[in-house]
Amino acid sequence: MKTDILAFAAHPDDVELACSGTLIMCRRMGKTTGIIDLTRGELGTRGSKETRKLEAEKAAGIMQLSHRENLGLPDGFFTHTKENMLAIVEVIRRLKPEIILCNAPEDRHPDHARASKLVLEASFYAGLQKIETPGLDAWRPRAVHYYIQDMYLHPDFLVDISEAVEDKQKAIKAYDSQFYKPSDKGPQTPISSAQFMDMVLSRSSALGRYIGVAHAEGFIRTRYIGVKNIFDVL
């Protein structure tokens, strides 16, 4: 069940939009990858929790995830409680990720910031032995990084996703209820326009330019990053 890199999301499709390219690239390098969706996205203007579930499963197949699950917290109303914290601690101890990715601490959707705080704190508490989770030992990931989604935040480092950008688009488009398709007559949202995918691609293209590649995804660190070889940060 060990998962090398685990991404948490307030809603199904958060990870696909923000850092699915990174997960796809990690999978191709032989790493095990997973997503934990905190809510079912049931308050979204378009779709339903049932359709979002099917779409998340389809996207998981495209990304070739090793694991995906939904904690079923209430969309829009999950809070910073002991119960919710322990639910995340249990997942971290069960899957033992080396790296955790999570929502940014500031974004357009209020759920994203609350999810960010929950996951970051749970990542710390998961390493405390005196917090008991039956049958599971304490485990703390080596690093937690924030991914950048709707609001542009200055990244601390960039990951080359040039070879994964086509599959990233496929994973995003797996959410038929959320994103543009010509036959759709549903209510319009900030992410349902025909131009939205162009924005996603233009951002990854702009980030890629900074490191001399076609496309990249940006991340914000939560602590100092250490390397043994200075050439690792070229």
Beta bridge partners, 100, equal 6, 144
Domain borders along the chain are 5-233
Cα(first)–Cα(last) distance of the chain, in Å?
Answer: 33
Residue 162 C-beta-side C-alpha neighbours within 13 Å: 10
CATH code reported for the domain at 5-233: 3.40.50.10320
User: What's the whole-model pTM score?
Assistant: 0.94
Which helix H or strand E contains 47, and what residues bound it? none
- Quick check: 1 pLDDT over 90? no
* Angle 7-3-56 from CA coordinates, rounded to 5°: 45
pLDDT digits 0-9 by tens, 32-66: 999 999 999 999 888 889 999 999 999 999 999 99
Alpha-carbon gap, residue 101 to 179, rounded angstroms: 23
How much is the pLDDT for 191?
Answer: 83
pLDDT digits 0-9 by tens, 131-169: 999 999 999 999 999 999 999 999 999 999 999 999 999
Under 8 Å between Cβ of 148 and 220? yes
